[in-house]
Amino acid sequence: MDTQGLSIVMAAAQIAAAIALLNGLFTTFGQGNIASTAIESIARQPEASDEIRSIMFVGLAMGETSGIYGLLIAIILLFANPLVSRFIELAF
């Protein structure tokens, strides 16, 4: 049994999952930037607040989707990693 190769594949998957979860950190900063810019725009032009608010919600939804995709990739890499099963097929 090639445990060293399997441990390298598992370690690489965990590092990749950590990098994918960094997406959530950047998503948070992006959403904060969207909200602050929208509040600033509403303060400058209160008559356009409805339009600015609707555009803000679309931007927040797109940003949150990016964070959810990063979480999904991390979960797949940690719990349903296709590389591990492929490595076991090739090694044995």
Confidence of residue 86 (pLDDT cuts 50, 70, 90): confident
Contact 64, 35 (CB under 8 A): no
**Rounded to an integer, what distance in angstroms lies between the CA atom of residue 24 and that of residue 29?**
9
Please say if the pLDDT value at position 1 is more than 60. Answer: no
**Rounded to an integer, what distance in angstroms lies between the CA atom of residue 84 and that of residue 82?**
6
The model's pTM is 0.74
Q: Which residues contact 69 (CB under 8 A, 6 or more apart)?
A: 23
Residue 49: the pLDDT is: 93
CATH topology of domain 3-91: F1FO ATP Synthase (1.20.20)
Residue 25: the pLDDT is: 86
Q: Tell me the pLDDT tens digit for each residue of 3-32.
A: 788 888 889 989 999 999 998 888 999 999
Q: Tell me the pLDDT tens digit for each residue of 42-64.
A: 999 999 999 999 999 999 999 89
